[in-house]
Structure 1
Amino acid sequence: MSSLRIVLNFQTGLGVLANIFLLFFYIFIILGHRPKTTDMISCQLAFIHIVLIITGGDIWLWDIFESLNVENDFKCKATFYISRVMRGLSICITCLLSVFQAVTISPSNSFLAKFKYKLKKYMIFAFLFIWSFNLSFISHQLLYFGAFTNVSETKQMKVMKFCSLFPMNFNIWALILTVTTSRDVFLVGVMLITSAYMVIILFRHQKQCKHLHSHSHLRASPEKRATQTILLLVVCFVVTYWVDFIISSSAVLLWMYNPIILSVQKFVMNVYPTITPLIQISSDNRIISMLKCLRTKCHGNFLFWSCL
C-alpha cells in the first residue's frame, strides 16, 4: 500500500502542476491576445482537472478539510459532490472540444459547415448549460453518501478514507445508474462519432496533399495538429473512462471495496486529467515557443509577455 500511495501522490502532484501551468498559460492568452475558441475550452478543462485530481481521492482534500475543523459528514458530501460534478464536467467539456474541432475542420460544402459561426456565437450559452446541468445533476445523490460509522458496517460500502455509500432502494439505484450511464454513453458516443469524422477528413486531406505535392513539401497545418491532439485526448478519455466504469460498477454490484481496488480506481480516474495537460503542452507550438524563449532570451518577469 505504501508504494501505491507514493504512485498516487506522484500522479496527483504531476497532474496538478501540469494543469496549473496550462491554466495560467491559457489565462494569459485569453487576457493578452486574441484567443481561439479552443483556448477557452481548454482553459476550463485545465481548471476542472485541477479540482478533479484534488477531489478524486482522499489524498489532499481531506487534509485541507481537517484543518477547517468541520464535521466528517460535510467533508464527505462536499468531496463526493465536487468530485462527481468535475467528473461530469470533464466528459462534457471534452465532448464539446471534440465536436467543436470536428465542425471547425469540416469542408465548406459539408453539412456541419453552416454551424461553424453559430457554434462560436453560442459557446458561452453552451458553457452555462453544461455547468448548470452538472451542478444540479449530482445534488440528489448526496442523500446516499456520508461519513463512515461503526454502526451496521455491513450495510455501508466504504468509498473513501472516512466516507461510505449507504444502501438505497433498488429502483432508485437503477434509475440513478441508468440516467448516469445514459448520459456518459451518449457523450462518449458523440466523441467517437466526431473522432471518426475527423479521421476521415484528415485522411482525405492527406490524400489530396500527396496528390498535389511531393512528400518533401508536406507540413502539418495548425488545424491538423490540433485535430490530432484532440483525437489522442478522446482516445485516452474513452479508454480510462471504461476501465474506471468497469471497476466502480463491479464494486457496487458486489457491494465490496477494498483498499487495493480503491487505490487502483483512483489511479485510473486520474490518468486522463494528468495526461491531458502533458499532451497539450507537448503539441501546442505556442507553448513550445514560449518555453524556448524563456530558456534562451527571457531573464526577467517583465519579458514574459514577449514570449507569448
Structure 2
Amino acid sequence: MKPRSLLIGMVFLIQTVTGILANIVLLFHYLSLCFTAYKLRPTDLIAEHLTIANTLIMLSKGIPQTMQGFGLKYFCQVSRCTLLLYVYRVARGVSVSTTCLLSVFQTIKISPMNSIWKELKGKHPKNIGLLIFFSWILYTLVNCIFIFYGIIKYTSINITELEDFGYCSCIFRDEIIEALYTAFVLFPEVSCSVLMIWSSGSMIYFLHQHKQRMQYIHKTNDFQKTCPETRATHSIFILVCTFVSFYTLSSFFYACIANFRNPSWWLMNTSALFATCFPTVSPFVLMSCNSTAARLRIKLSGFFSSM
C-alpha cells in the first residue's frame, strides 16, 4: 500500500469513527429525553433530525471513503454505489434544510415584536414537525428519480460511461438529468444556503439592537452571562457558519470533479473530506452550546473525570 493511501485512510478512519460515535451518542441522548418527562423544544427537535441526517452521511460517505483509502473496493458494484449515493444525497439534503430551518427559526424567535415576523412568532413552533417531515419526503422522492434513471440506463450502457467516485462507480448523467438534478436538488440547497446567510446576518443585527437597548438597564457583562437566548443564538450562528464554510468548499470541489471525467486522486479525497467535515463537527458544536445537548457533555465530562 502506498504511503499516501495509508495516510488518507487513517485520516478518514479517525474522522469517520469520531463523527459516527459523536452523532450516535447525541442522537441516543435526544431519544432518551423523549421517553422522560422532559419536553423537547422546537430547536431540540430540529437538532435531533439534523443529527440523524449527519449520522446517515457518515455511514454512507465516511465508511466507504475509509475503506477506499485502505484499498478495499467492496462498494465498487454499481448497485451498491447507487444505493450509497442515494442515502448520502437524501441525508445531505435533509442536513441542509434542517440547518436552514434552525437558523430561520432562531431569527424569528429573537426578532422584535414590531418586525415583519411578528405574525409568525406564535405560529412557527407548531409547524416545525411538519416542515421536517416535508423535508425528508421531498429529498426521498426527488432522489428516487435519479435512482430509477440509473437502473434503467445501466442496462443500455457500456463500462466507459460510468463515473468514478473513488470508492465506486455510478452512471454518468447526461445533459437532461443534469438539468433536472440542478433544478430539484442543487437549487434548493443553494437557496437554503443563501437563506442561512441572510438569517445569520439578521440574527447579528437583532442581537446588536437588543444589546444596545438593554445596556441602559444592565451592565454588558452581566447581560451576556444571564441571557440564555443570546447564548442559543450564538451557538446557532456558529453552527451555520461551520455549515456554510464546509459545504461551500465541498460544493466547490464537487463542481471541479463534475468537470473532469477522470478527476485526480487528490481532488476526489479532498472533496470527500470536506463533505464529511460538518457532520463530524456539528455534534460537538451542539454539545458545547445547545442547552439540551450540553446535558450530555456534562454527563460525559463527569463520567471521564471519575475514571
- Specify the TM-score bucket, using the shorter chain as the normaliser: 0.7 to 0.9
Q: 1:290: how far off?
A: 5.3
> Secondary structure at the residue paired with 1:121?
helix
Could you state the TM-score of these two structures normalised by the residue count of structure 2? 0.85
One-letter amino acid of the counterpart of residue 256, structure 1: N
Query: Residues 85 and 134 of structure 1 are in contact (CA less than 8 Å); yes or no, is this contact kept in structure 2?
Result: yes
1:28 equivalent in alignment to 2:32: yes
Task: Check the 8 A contact 1:54/1:60 in 2, yes or no.
Answer: no
1:262 counterpart = 2:262 = no
Deviation at 1:292, TM superposition (A): 4.2
CA–CA separation in structure 1 for the residues paired with 2:54 and 2:275? 11
**The 10-residue stretch of structure 1 (214-223 or 242-251) with the greater mean CA deviation from structure 2:** 214-223
| TM-score scaled by length of structure 1 | 0.84
Counterpart for residue 110 of structure 2: 105
SS of the aligned residue for 1:164 comes to: strand
* Matches of 2:182 and 2:126, distance apart in 1: 34
Equivalent position amino acid for 1:15 in 2: G
Conservation of the 8 A alpha-carbon contact between 1:243 and 1:268: yes
Q: Measure the CA separation in 1 of the matches of 2:120 and 2:97.
A: 19
**Distance of aligned partners of 1:267 and 1:145 in 2 relative to their CA distance in 1, 3 Å threshold:** farther
Q: Give the match for residue 212 of structure 1.
A: 217
- Displacement after TM superposition at 1:134 (Å): 0.6
Check whether the contact 2:75–2:168 (CA below 8 A) recurs between aligned residues: no
Structure-1 residue corresponding to 2:246: 240
1:140-159 correspondence runs (5 A)? 140-143=145-148, 145=150, 153-159=159-165
**Per the alignment, do residues 76 and 39 of structure 1 end up closer, same or farther by CA in structure 2, a change over 3 Å counting?**
same
CA 1:60–1:31: 2 relative to 1, 3 Å:
farther
User: For structure 1, which runs of at least 5 residues remain unmatched after alignment?
Assistant: 299-308
1:119-138 CA deviation, whole Å, 9 max, x = no partner? 11222221221111110111
Task: Supply the distance in 1 between the matched residues of 2:176 and 2:118 (Cα, whole angstroms).
Answer: 44
Seen in structure 2, the aligned counterparts of structure 1 residues 36 and 291 have a Cα distance that, compared at 3 Å, is same
**Structure 1 residue 181: Cα displacement:** 2.6
Which residue of 94, 100, 107 maps to 2:99?
94
Q: Secondary structure at the match of 1:127?
A: helix
Counterpart position of 2:281: 275
**Mean CA deviation greater in 264-273 or 180-189:** 180-189
Where in structure 2 are the equivalents of 1:25-174 lying within 5 Å?
25-32=29-36, 33-57=38-62, 58-59=64-65, 72-143=77-148, 145=150, 153-168=159-174, 170-174=175-179
Shift of 1:294: 6.6
CA distance in 2, matches of 1:79, 1:9: 18
The structural deviation recorded for 1:288 is 4.2
SS state of the match for residue 251, structure 2?
helix
Cα distance change, pair 95–297 in 1 and its aligned pair in 2 (3 A): closer
**1:205 partner letter:** H
Q: Aligned pair count?
A: 293
Equivalent residues of 1:101, 1:227 under 8 A apart: yes
Give the secondary-structure state (helix, strand or coil) at the position aligned to 1:157: strand
1:138-170 deviation per Cα after TM superposition (whole angstroms, max 9, x unaligned): 112225657x9xx955433211423233252x2
Query: What is the rounded CA distance, in whole Å, between the counterparts of 1:243 and 1:297 in structure 2?
Result: 36
**Could you give the per-residue CA deviations for residues 224-269 of structure 1, whole angstroms, max 9, x where no partner exists?**
1111111111111111112111111111122222332221111100
| Displacement of 1:284 | 3.0
Aligned counterpart in structure 2 of residue 2 of structure 1, from 1, 6, 18: 6
Identity %: 25
Q: 1:177 aligns with which of 170, 182, 189?
A: 182
Q: Paired residue for 2:18, among 14, 21, 24?
A: 14
Taking the aligned partners of 2:76 and 2:170, their CA distance within structure 1 comes to 15
Give, in angstroms, the shift of residue 76 of structure 1. Answer: 1.6
Distance in 1 (alpha carbons) for counterparts of 2:178 and 2:267: 21
3-state DSSP class of the match of 1:199? helix
Unaligned runs of 5+ in 2: none
Letter of the 2:77 partner, please give it: N
